[in-house]
Amino acid sequence: MNPQLLEQYLSLTPEVKAALDDNQPVVALESTIISHGMPYPANVETALAVEARVRENGAVPATIGILNGRLHAGLNQQQIEQLGKSGQHSLKVSRRDIPFALLSDKTVGATTVAATMIIAELAGIRVFATGGIGGVHRGAAKTFDISADLQELANTNVAVVCAGAKSILDIPLTREYLETYGVPVIGYQTDCWPAFYTRRSEHMVDYNVEQTEQIARALANKWALNLNGGAVVCVPVPEAYAQDERVINSAIDSALQEMQEKSITGKDTTPFLLGKIAEITAGSSLQTNIELVLNNASVAANIAKDLVKIESSHGSR
């Protein structure tokens, strides 16, 4: 994009701009986890803790959102607080919504994985930490309910560090979709796809990689060869915070049944299901969600640091 045109739409915090100008590692963070993923004030506390975790690991955090008619790569504490208080009243922004979110300077827009990837790439950020990606929803053979996150991963040059796809989804079909579109699924110190709340599933990753430097080197190779699209880096939730598989699957089945009875569809499905699962598990799933995001932020920061070193040594950034 033309730099002047980009300036028309995109705002960077001074910290993020300085880091990008100085070729320092930056990690993008989404904002629907603030608005739609957790209740206030836990959402704001978590967002600030995740930013702090990125800094502790030697990178600069850039929480992404849409405020005052502009795209933002990097939010200050007041803006994060605004998103947290707006909660589910804020606009949940995916690719299709971005042009409309910019029409009003009163819009409070929280970005999904897809929208965060788009804005991160516009800003020049290539590593993004989140909780879990969207995917193919259960029953998609009839509903065709497939997250826009998957197409974004097929086309946008941003690596997404996550705890797999949310286990409310159809994991086998999500894996098939990613394979069809050539999106590598990398396990960080794991050979299987983690199921968000739990560390393991019966589905395998494409590559089990032990060091973040190896992941960064593979990403550098991919993009240097113009193999466009992102990558999914799967990081299991720390063992101390993992849910019991039988308990969480029972909670998911119960939440899915209630969702169907209430005819909840589209953008409302994930917030509803996560809320119901938190209710059924007496809040323990929320703590799991928080801890896995913090863990993902640490791994993402280290990948971002390694990627900067590798590309700087090749003179390719």
Catalytic residue numbers, as ranges: 30, 166
Dihedral of the alpha carbons of 164, 100, 108, 11, in degrees to the nearest 10:
80
Smallest CA-to-CA distance from 204 within 234, 225, 170 is with 234
Whether 120 contacts 128, CB under 8 Å:
yes
